[in-house]
Amino acid sequence: MNESEFLKDFIENVLDTDAEVKMDTPLIDIDEWDSLGVVGFIADANTKYGKKVTPQQVKDAKTPQDLFNLLK
């Protein structure tokens, strides 16, 4: 998985938005990034990417790049 594949999946499946989101977009600026987004990301990390991430790790993330780095 590369950054563009991750970002496409993140926008379509976690955020479910048409808004322009880049790897350096602050998560706090994304209206769709809420508690359901966090849960969706954690679920995707586990099922799609085989990674276990904690809610605290996701909470500490500031950008989609930070989330991507959790999946490496």
**Residue partners of 39: CB distance under 8 A and separation at least 6:** none
Considering the domain delimited by 3-70, tell me its CATH architecture. Orthogonal Bundle (1.10)
User: Can you give the residue ranges of every domain in the chain?
Assistant: 3-70
The region that residue 69 occupies, defined by phi over 0 for left and psi between -120 and 50 for alpha, beta otherwise, is alpha
- How do residues 23-62 score in pLDDT, each as one tens digit? 999 999 999 999 999 999 999 999 999 999 999 999 999 9
Q: How remote is the C-alpha of 42 from its chain's centroid? A: 8
Q: How far apart are CA 17 and CA 41, in angstroms?
A: 14
What per-residue confidence (pLDDT) applies to 33? 97
pLDDT band at 68 (very low <50, low <70, confident <90, very high): very high
Q: What kind and span of H or E run contains 55? A: helix 55-60
What is the reported pTM?
0.94
